[in-house]
A and B are shown apart, each in its own frame.
Chain A
Amino acid sequence: MPSARRRPVSDFALSGTGVRAAETPSRAKVLARLHLGDKAFRHITRGAAILVLVILGGVIVSLIMGSLPALRAFGFDFVTTQSWNPVTEKFGALAPIYGTVVTSLIAMLIAVPVGLMVAFFLTELCPQWLRRPVGIAIELLAGIPSIIYGIWGLFVFVPFLQQHVQPYLIDIFAPFPILSSLFAGPPYGIGMLTAGLILAIMVLPFITSISRDVFEAVPPVLKEAAYGVGCTTWEVFRNVVLPYTRVGVIGGIMLGLGRALGETMAVTFVIGNAHKISASILAPGTTISATIANEFTEAVGDLYTSSLIALGLILFVITFVVLAIARLLLARIERKIG
């Protein structure tokens, strides 16, 4: 069948502009035109590639410019104080930074072991016919927009946690000295734990799909050798697959962390937007992204707006560093696997 791809390549040249045998006006002219077209296309594509760098530069510059008034007014205190008062125009970013770190930490504590176990299941245990559907289903979780997690979290997950989970957590941990303050207070439903749990669901597919990819790339001969000396499936995974892919797994985890740190809408719905640092993870709090989403359009005054943009700058710097490390690690494992 003469599909487009099967046609001899010379067809394309002959049907292309200029090179028509009947009217070859001047070979040099045609060649010059082709050369010019090629040069132009080369520069256009190069320009587009450079635009990607320009966008990143623009993001950084605009955030720095926007946050200058706040950074000038508060200096380094901006990241070490926690008062957030639009009336007196005193702004400190400590509470949102704290909330961002704690919610992401909760998310990673849950998503890392679960994500790795799902990847273990998919690569070592799952029957061949089931791999694709399960893999796609997990990836669909990553495709669900953030705002859907938010509305589901607020109307379904929050009431469930409030009625059926948090009261028990409070009771169970009450006798223990440190844990009791970690799980203290009335069960609001909303709060940092809830946000962390939803983030865990959201980053799980990232960790799973990257770990699955690197697990699959382990040379079969290594695993076969381990099975050959009598290792169990788990021992092969734990002592051969994991050490071999460690760098890639850490890269995947960092990628998930980058996602969790910057996640906005889902967190905004369930965190409670309270500018305070509480020892209890059941208490409402706020994150950098949730603060910006909630307050930016209502911010009155340059200093308020500027403080919110400064929050954005901090978020961008943190996620940039985390994601850059993730990419460097993943590039390392790619070179190793080839």
Chain B
Amino acid sequence: MSYASKPHTMNASLYNARRRKNAVTKFLAVAATLFGLGWLVLILGELLWRGVGGLSPSVFTEMTPPPGAAGGLLNPIVGSLILTTLAVVIGTPIGILAGTYLAEYGRHEKISSVVRFINDILLIAPSIVIGLFVYEIMVAPMGHFSGWAGAIALAVIVIPVVVRTTEDMLTLVPDALREAAASIGLPRAYMITRIAYRAARAGILTGILLAVARISGETAPLLFTALNNQFWSVNLNGQVASLPVVIFQFALSPYAEWQKLAWTGALIITLTVLTLSIIARTLASTGKQS
């Protein structure tokens, strides 16, 4: 009734207010995005600005110096490489196998949903707690800090990342492939290892790369496991230096040379991590397209 009796006029002030609100929020959205991207630019810019100056061959050939002397980052770089490699070697097979169970054998089983849930929580659980855990089970019983403990702590961080990506990627493999394999009498284990793994190879590799990117900057879990080492040591039963822990120690020191090395180390880590994640991303997108 009321519509018919009133002429169709627009409430101009309401209309303008709505348009204004729309314009303001659009502006705020753009501003928020620039704000977010701004930090990335600021941080990367500062890293390059302060880190590139220190990038000289001696960084890769000399040991960490005592306070007040010049030196390099050779021992922490090598230490980080060893710890990361070990963590990947230990964590990846476990992660891939567990992910395989979730996606293939136990896709609809109750235990799988529990494992999935717990795994998703471990994925972002505070890494310092992982450090405490490994301290309790390895460092305290053995009575000393060790490279092995550091590698195990990192492996515990690798596992959930690999579990998650392996499961996701195997789930993307079309069921028609599985049915075809089953129809010719292929046992499931062969179907998984010969067919599903091949089809999901790029995706699984992506997961491993993301895991490496994740642990190469991890500091907290190494603080009470591998600790640090001023000298050249590849003895995994003793303390092993790592890049993140050295950055932590050097950055908080009062010595200018140490602080400079910390910035150079920070640049090296960031470039490594960003390169790994960009490779992982392109690999993932090519994998999805094919």
A residues neighboring B (CB under 8 Å): 4-5, 9-10, 12-13, 16, 34-35, 37-38, 40-42, 44-53, 55-56, 58-59, 62-63, 65-66, 113-115, 117-118, 120-122, 124-126, 134, 136-141, 143-152, 154-156, 201, 204-205, 208, 232-235, 237, 255, 258-259, 261-265, 268-269, 289, 292-293, 296-297, 308-309, 312, 315-316, 319-320, 323-324, 327
Q: Are B184 and A9 in contact (CB under 8 A)?
A: yes
When each residue 191-204 of chain B gets 1 if its CB lies under 8 Å from chain A and 0 otherwise, what string results? 01111001100000
CB distance from A150 to the nearest CB of B (A): 7
16 contacts between A and B (CB under 8 A): A13-B190, A42-B189, A45-B97, A48-B94, A49-B98, A58-B133, A121-B33, A145-B270, A147-B219, A147-B266, A148-B269, A201-B39, A233-B22, A264-B127, A289-B220, A323-B120
| Given A52-B160, A114-B36, 12 new contacts (CB under 8 A) | A40-B189, A50-B111, A56-B118, A62-B137, A63-B136, A115-B32, A117-B33, A144-B217, A258-B124, A262-B125, A320-B121, A327-B117
Q: Are A234 and B25 in contact (CB under 8 A)?
A: yes
Q: Are B36 and A138 in contact (CB under 8 A)?
A: yes
Bound-complex Cα distance A115 to B33 (A): 8
Does B277 touch A at the CB level, under 8 Å?
Answer: yes
Contacts of A47 in B (CB 8 A): 97
Bound-complex Cα distance A37 to B188 (A): 9
Q: Please choose the segment from B52-60, B64-72, B102-110 that sits at the chain A interface, where 4 or more of its residues have CB less than 8 A away.
A: B102-110
Q: Are B133 and A62 in contact (CB under 8 A)?
A: yes
B residues neighboring A (CB under 8 Å): 18-19, 21-22, 25-26, 28-33, 35-37, 39-40, 42-43, 46-47, 50, 93-95, 97-98, 100-102, 104-106, 111-112, 114-115, 117-122, 124-130, 132-133, 135-137, 156, 159-160, 163, 177, 180-181, 184-190, 192-195, 198-199, 213, 216-220, 223-224, 227, 244, 247-248, 251-252, 259, 262-263, 266, 269-270, 273-274, 277-278, 281
Bound-complex Cα distance A234 to B17 (A): 12
Q: Are B115 and A52 in contact (CB under 8 A)?
A: yes
Q: Are A10 and B26 in contact (CB under 8 A)?
A: no
Contacts of A150 in B (CB 8 A): 248, 251
Q: Are B128 and A292 in contact (CB under 8 A)?
A: yes
CB distance from B34 to the nearest CB of A (A): 9
4 smallest CB-CB distances across A and B, nearest first, come from A145-B217, A262-B126, A48-B97, A117-B32
Between A66, A121, A263, the greatest number of chain B beta carbons within 10 A of the residue's beta carbon is seen for A121
Contacts of B40 in A (CB 8 A): 137-138, 140-141, 144
CB distance from B120 to the nearest CB of A (A): 5
Q: Are A327 and B121 in contact (CB under 8 A)?
A: yes
A contacts with B: majority SS: helix
Q: Are B33 and A134 in contact (CB under 8 A)?
A: yes
Bound-complex Cα distance A13 to B122 (A): 38
Contacts of B252 in A (CB 8 A): 154, 269
From A122, A145, A154, contact of B218 by CB (8 A): A145
Bound-complex Cα distance A210 to B189 (A): 35
Contacts of A122 in B (CB 8 A): 33
Contacts of A263 in B (CB 8 A): 126
Bound-complex Cα distance A156 to B102 (A): 45
Q: Are B121 and A323 in contact (CB under 8 A)?
A: yes
Q: Are A118 and B266 in contact (CB under 8 A)?
A: no
Q: Are A143 and B32 in contact (CB under 8 A)?
A: no
Bound-complex Cα distance A258 to B218 (A): 17
From known contacts A46-B106, A53-B115, infer whether A144 and B43 are also in contact, taking CB-CB under 8 Å. Answer: yes
Q: Are A148 and B101 in contact (CB under 8 A)?
A: no
Query: In the complex, what residue of chain B is closest to A141 when comparing beta carbons?
Result: B40
Q: Are A38 and B189 in contact (CB under 8 A)?
A: yes
Contacts of B135 in A (CB 8 A): 296
Between A44, A113, A138, A144, the greatest number of chain B beta carbons within 10 A of the residue's beta carbon is seen for A144
